[in-house]
Every structure is written in structure tokens, then in C-alpha cells.
Structure 1
């Protein structure tokens, strides 16, 4: 069921995209946003050999990073102008191996707050026969006001 979250920054989509994709870790992974909407995002990570284990499956740390980016980005869509967020805690449960052309991470806000936001993410392996859930995460974000010059 979709939630109708209050958008506090009309430029949230552009800001989330530019802030996240400017991070060195995001650039290294090479994912992109498929969707950015109030309280939810979808990111797509193409398969690359350097992100896998010896057997071709996506490495677990990559799945955790994608879940963190997706949940944190979803939380970022609800921030006030001049604010950013940072992960302070997350738990990832890997449920199945992820192998295929890509993985998709779908982040969603559970409980937004002025100081802390709790979000979740599900990560799916994308193969020719369809998607399969491979990881889930619960993420707590700290909202921080940027210093003005």
C-alpha cells in the first residue's frame, strides 16, 4: 500500500539523484535510479564481474550497500531543503544468492522524523525468468542540517 508522504522540498528528486550519485561509493558501484518518488526509490545495479564472488554471485557487501543506498535515498526524498541524511544503523538479511543481469533495490520510508528516519529496502535478483527476493534491510538515518556559509 502506497503512503502519501509530505514532500518538504520540491526539488527532492534532483537533489537525491545528484547527492547520491556524487558519492565515490555510488560511482564505484555504477548503479542508477529507475524511480525517485516521495518516500520511495528504485535503483538498478548492472552485473559487473568486479562486484561478484568467485562463483558469479553478487558479493554480500554489495547487496548491503545497495540496500543502504536505496533506503537512505528513499529517506532523502522527505528531507527539508538544506538537509542531508546519513546512515547510523542498518541490518541486512541475505535470503538467497543474487545472480543475473542486474539487481534491483527498492527503498521505502517506514517512519520519517525530524531527527531520525527509519526506512527499509528489498533487493531482488533480476534474471530472464523474473525477479527473486535476495535481501532485505532495515535502515536508520540521521537527518543533518547543512552548515550555511
Structure 2
């Protein structure tokens, strides 16, 4: 089980998540924050669908990227900020449902690079509908605005 590098890491993760305008716009909220793991929820909205009525892949990818990034952030040191370096998303089934659960987890955490995965589920089901594999980068720059 991973451990945080400083006592306020989980509180800071929630606070930084709440400062993201895109998460508010999409209606994505934090359901759980633990060391190396973040769970987000995304309610279905018709205005976030593609032409077949499924949740748009870009919206689901955005949620998975944030879950993976904030999972990585929980294990970074107090001077670090997180940025996505790269990711690959795979869609296994159409995104249909009323509430989507997105689970981001750290695979390996390093000082600069953290390797993560995210999985998306529809409603209360256990079937994965999408996955994301990502590399997150710890950025230490006193010029970054908090």
C-alpha cells in the first residue's frame, strides 16, 4: 500500500481538484481520495453525448486523465505540481449509464515520473467500459500559480 510523502497530501489533492473549472463544468466530483488512488463520479448529461447518445469519449477521457493525475499527485512531495506527460485511452464498450465511476491508481511513483492507470465503469457495474494508461510528471516550479 503506498503512503503519502507529507501529512496534508490528501487534503491538498481534494483542494486542487476543486479548483479545476473543467471538472465543475462537466459535473465531475471526488468520491474518494487515498494514497495512490482517486475515485471520481460523473453523472450522465445529454449535453455531454456524441451523436449516438453515448457519453462522449473526450469527456470520459478527461475524467480518466484527472483521476490518474490526482492519484499520482497524492504521492508527490509538497513542492510538486502534477502535469500529464502522455496517455493512451481505450474504449471497451459504449459509455451508457446514469452515473460513471472513474478509478485512478498509481502503478509506480517516482520523483519526477509516475505511471498510472484509470478505469471507467457505468452505473454500479463491475464491467470496465474504458481504460487509460498515463505518465504523470511532477513539476517543481516556484512560478506556478496555486
Q: TM-score, normalised by structure 1?
A: 0.90
Residue aligning to 1:71: 68
Distance 2:15 2:103 in 1: 18
Tell me how many residue pairs correspond in the alignment.
144
1:35-93, Cα deviation, whole Å (9 max, x unpaired) = 10000010000111111123321001111111101110100110111211100100000
The aligned counterpart of 1:36 is 33
Q: Secondary structure at the match of 2:123?
A: strand
List aligned pairs for 1:1-149, cutoff 5 A: 4-126=1-123, 130-147=125-142
Runs of at least 4 residues of structure 1 off by over 2 A?
none
Query: Which secondary structure does the structure 2 equivalent of 1:140 belong to?
Result: strand
Q: Following TM superposition, by how much is the alpha carbon of 1:24 offset from its aligned partner in structure 2, in angstroms? A: 2.0
Inter-partner Cα distance in structure 2 for 1:135 and 1:56 = 17
**More deviation in 118-127 or 92-101?**
118-127
How does the TM-score come out when normalised to structure 2?
0.92
Shift of 1:148: 6.7
1:30, distance to aligned residue in structure 2 (A): 1.4
Query: Matches of 2:128 and 2:99 in 1, distance apart?
Result: 12
Q: Which runs of 5+ in 2 are unaligned?
A: none
Provide the alpha-carbon RMSD of the alignment. 1.6
State the distance in 1 between where 2:57 and 2:143 align: 38
Looking at structure 2, the residues matched to 122 and 18 of structure 1 have their Cα atoms a distance apart, in angstroms, of 23
